[in-house]
Amino acid sequence: MSDVGKTESISVSDFHAWPDSHGRFADFGGVYMPETLMPPLEELTRAYLELRGDPAFIAEFEHDLRHYVGRPSPIYHAERLSRKIGGAQILLKREDLNHTGAHKINNTIGQALVARRMGKRRIIAETGAGQHGVATATVCARFGLDCIVYMGAVDIERQKINVYRMKLLGAEVVPVTSGSKTLKDALNEAMRDWVTNVHDTFYIIGTVAGPHPYPMMVRDFNAVVGREARAQMLEQYGRLPDVLTACVGGGSNAIGLFHAFLNDREVAIVGAEAAGDGIDTGRHAASLAAGRKGVLHGNRTYVICDDHGQITETHSISAGLDYPGVGPEHAFLKDSGRARYEGVTDEEALAAFHELARTEGILAALESSHAVAQAMKLARGMAKDRLILCNLSGRGDKDVHTIAAREGIAL
């Protein structure tokens, strides 16, 4: 057997054929939600399946990606960084140059357009680092929709600037004080809002998790990243990259880059998860590398939980990777052998952040710094004529305070 993917009894011939009509990626995904939300999820699935084939909707989406987001984002050859490492060439897909500074806007524009077509004018969202919250608040301002963002009280403290940015954009930010007061609890609270206001509310989930159709829909809206990158590689280098890498929390930027390449079996795929203080310390957020199969927030995937099935607190220096689950399609890619997922520690991510800043003049988000660290590790063991395409999913301005505090510097 070659590198053809296999999950238990299913061998995968076409990775673009998933999920199935029940929202399953073989063993993963599905719709594990309370009955009250099932009819609105059915309604959303119907509406989205119709819109994704509607040329007018696609044109509307592409128009905003071009004129509002600023796409296409370039592929940049990090030449000085590559030379310093002395191995493979590192290419960066510059999602940090998008409007609002990350890939998140690709998805929020798509979902806001779906909400508008469905006649829902009240938008809710959850956010961890605040990037998805800002991207949601941005498109709500752009389309004239009401916006309520749920955010863990701990994260509000960690990400004050993004909280203020959301308020400047007209959003209401609601602190969540239940559970661990972080991203997963913000998601729980957004679900509770949705179940209560289901008649007029659209929930813009920020990652490729949640119940069907979210993992598929969020992937589709971010898949522009990989489609662009694949064409740019052929145009600029006359070939596909040897390896793709991206950071994986929920996994939206990663699946966005990976998806267009899934059937190009000669392209290796490596996801970088947050190993925090190190996987063996237990203080990490590496669901795929160190979690187990379970059900969280509407889908079956890999989760971080204890022997009682209680979801446990995770740790990462990067709030955007600090999530105890992961999108079901990544679980599927892992089990099929099509992608592999490795842990990158806080220290490694910080070192990569500084290296990229000094050699290329780019401040990467701490999330994306995990991918840069992974690319640097991979490059060391590869020949100089090999190409690694790394998704630089967001810019690091939001993290300047975190980095300064970590290094004992008062700003």
Partner 1 sequence: MSNRIDQRFASLRARGRKGLIPFVTAGDPLPQATAAVMHALVEAGADVIELGVPYSDPVADGPTIQHASERAIARGVGLEAILAEVRAFRSRDLDTPVVLMGYLNPIEIRGYARFAREAVAAGVDGVLVVDVPVEEADTLGPLVEAGLRQIFLVAPTTTDARLAAIRARARGFVYYVSFAGITGADRLDLPAVRARVEHIRAGGDVPVAVGFGVRDAASAVAVVEVADAVVIGSALVARLAGCDDAQAAMSAARGFLAPIRAALDAMHS
Give the per-residue contact string, 193-232, with partner 1 (x = CB under 8 A; - = no).
--xx-xx---------------------------------
* Of 184 and 330, CB closest to partner 1: 184
Beta-carbon contacts of 377 under 8 Å, excluding residues fewer than 6 positions away, are: 344, 348
Query: Closest approach of Cβ 311 to partner 1, in Å?
Result: 5
Alpha carbons 312 and 296: distance in angstroms, whole number: 12
**Interaction of residue 8 with partner 1, rule CB under 8 A:** no
Residues 353-382 that bind partner 1 (CB under 8 A): none
78: left (phi over 0), alpha (psi -120 to 50) or beta: beta
Which helix (H) or strand (E) covers residue 172, if one does? Answer: strand 172-176
Alpha carbons 234 and 230: distance in angstroms, whole number: 6
Per DSSP bridges, beta strands 172-176 and 146-152 are parallel
Give the per-residue contact string, 337-356, with partner 1 (x = CB under 8 A; - = no).
--------------------
Work out the end-to-end distance of the chain between its first and last CA atoms, rounded to an integer number of angstroms: 56
Inter-residue contact 189 to 178 (CB < 8 Å): yes
Active site residue: 252, 287, 336, 393, which one? 393
Instruction: List the one residue from 3, 4, 11, 39 that touches partner 1 (CB under 8 A).
Output: 39
* Of 293 and 354, CB closest to partner 1: 293
Residue 294 backbone dihedrals phi, psi, to 5 degrees: -160, -170
* Of 39 and 70, CB closest to partner 1: 39
Q: Which stretch binds partner 1 (CB under 8 A): 115-123, 239-247, 288-296, 370-378?
A: 288-296
**Is 334 a residue of the active site?**
no
**Interaction of residue 296 with partner 1, rule CB under 8 A:** yes
Residues 167-196 that bind partner 1 (CB under 8 A): 178-179, 184-185, 188, 191-192, 195-196
* Of 11 and 36, CB closest to partner 1: 36
Inter-residue contact 253 to 393 (CB < 8 Å): yes
**Interaction of residue 40 with partner 1, rule CB under 8 A:** yes
**Is 398 a residue of the active site?**
no
Alpha carbons 380 and 261: distance in angstroms, whole number: 23
Query: Closest approach of Cβ 33 to partner 1, in Å?
Result: 6
Q: Which stretch binds partner 1 (CB under 8 A): 30-38, 158-166, 232-240, 257-265?
A: 30-38
Instruction: List the one residue from 12, 33, 272, 319 that touches partner 1 (CB under 8 A).
Output: 33
Inter-residue contact 320 to 104 (CB < 8 Å): no
Instruction: List the one residue from 206, 213, 298, 328 that touches partner 1 (CB under 8 A).
Output: 298
Tokens 């009955």, residue located = 35
Q: Give the chain's radius of gyration (CA, Å).
A: 20
Nearest to 226 by CA among 71, 81, 372: 71
Query: Closest approach of Cβ 333 to partner 1, in Å?
Result: 21
**Interaction of residue 38 with partner 1, rule CB under 8 A:** yes
Alpha carbons 5 and 332: distance in angstroms, whole number: 9
Inter-residue contact 102 to 365 (CB < 8 Å): yes
Active site residue: 126, 329, 355, 360, which one? 126
Active site residue: 82, 95, 104, 184, which one? 104
Tokens 């605040």, residue located = 130
**Is 126 a residue of the active site?**
yes
Query: Closest approach of Cβ 295 to partner 1, in Å?
Result: 5
Nearest to 94 by CA among 372, 383, 385, 400: 372
**Interaction of residue 293 with partner 1, rule CB under 8 A:** yes
Structure tokens at 236: 């600029």
Residues 300-329 that bind partner 1 (CB under 8 A): 300, 303, 305, 307-312
Query: Closest approach of Cβ 294 to partner 1, in Å?
Result: 5
* Of 189 and 329, CB closest to partner 1: 189
Nearest to 279 by CA among 242, 252, 304: 304
Beta bridge partners of 94: 392
Q: State whether residue 104 is helix, strand or coil.
A: helix
The catalytic residues are 104, 126, 393
| Binding positions for partner 1, rule: CB under 8 A | 22, 30-40, 42, 178-179, 184-185, 188, 191-192, 195-196, 198-199, 292-298, 300, 303, 305, 307-312
